[in-house]
A and B are shown apart, each in its own frame.
Chain A
Amino acid sequence: MTEQGSGRPLAKRPSYWLATGTLFLFLAFLFAWWRIPTFPPVFPTPIEQLDRQIHAAGVTNLLPQQYAVFHQQVSDLRHHWRLAANQWWPSWTLQEFTESYQQLMTSGAALLTATQHKKTTLHSHLKNLLDAEQAQLTRLRNLNGLFDLRGKRTALSRAQSFLTQGASLLTQARVDQVPHLLQQAQNTMRPIETLLIQQMSRYSDKHNIAKWNRWVTDTIEPTRRSGDLVMVVIKASQEFRLYQKGLLRQSFSADLGFSGLQDKLHEGDGATPEGIFRIIQKKGKGETKFYKAFMLDFPTTLHQRQFRAAKAQGLIPAHRGIGGFIEIHGQPSGQSDPTNGCVALENSIMDTLFPLVPLRTPVVIVGALDPINFVSRALSLIQSHHAQRNA
């Protein structure tokens, strides 16, 4: 192929190649212009905002692995966008980018929901645990003044302090420290629970309940014909009953020792002794500082024998005696105070009883007559929580 007048083939002329090259470059620029603007000039910010929102929701503590994957995916997408946006011939189409972006937005939204759900669940779980421990602590504290918690009261207060701290930190969304405080509270309460379960179990023991029922029946039965009075004190319900001719005549509430529901071991333990006693002395006004009183024959021979056995087993400190001066005595109306081991009734009740009750009247003091009683119910709740926690 030649051009007229020059005699050289067209393909060998520089102007031909210059024109072809210019055309090619023009087309390449045109193509690039057509391709490049298809990518957003700035990486879309919503995905980054979502990433920060997920982070702020506490994902690094709650779902760290899932978040690491998501965060890396955001970083990768941005990297791909950057590469594609800078390429003359992008390896990605806008559609591919948009699809990946949308998928990531969807998975990010799901991760945010999962994080918030886990946060709520964890918060609620910890709150339930704190509430359950608080309920257990309240149960234990309520037994103060009924069982011997001397030396344990500071520990109970410490447990309260741990639980209060836990609740405070939970309110301030500092959930990471709450499990440790819960554990400290549990560790503080656990030995006290074990001790109380041991002390309280007498009240749900069928043999004990049968024995206490037998004491009452055996004492009341002979009085059916004689018409004599019998006094019965039920420690679990803090109840004083007056029987005559085998029938219940009257019932009053009574106060017991400061560890009244325990079985009496020695002097000063605050326990109200259990057993069948008799009134050996009546103290009228001016003869006692407790208005009027009936002195019981504690310790009986049986109690003395039990005391010696317990001392021999080392259950009682060497310097401790068996105690005595156990009375049914008066106290001012409306004043409900624990005694040192005696049974306290309102003065007006003492006024009623005093002329009716002769010396030698039997007094039966028992733990409970019904296997379902205040102590056995409390024991069941304490035991159940104790076992549940240990499981």
Chain B
Amino acid sequence: MSVSREEVIKIAQLAELQVDEERLPELAEQMSRILDYVAQLAGQTSETGKPFIPGPDALRFRADEVKPAALAFGPDTFAPEFRDGFFLVPKLGQFGDPGEPE
């Protein structure tokens, strides 16, 4: 399995992760090696095999009610920017393709 430079760029965009141009060849090579390694599972399971899910057999649901969050301090303490009960972020520029990594 060989991952191309273009595929790394596409995946990085899906993951909202900036990748430096000069690191792309190394990342493509490492991802290819990892995906080659994990590809050995191909043909080792049946198409109808059931997945394994750990944990309690039946999930316990809590009552759907609003309770005060037991926080020692509010988000204004740990958020990068917070005002009047809102996390502040820059405006959304456009919904289009954000383009190639810088």
Q: Do A and B bind each other?
A: no
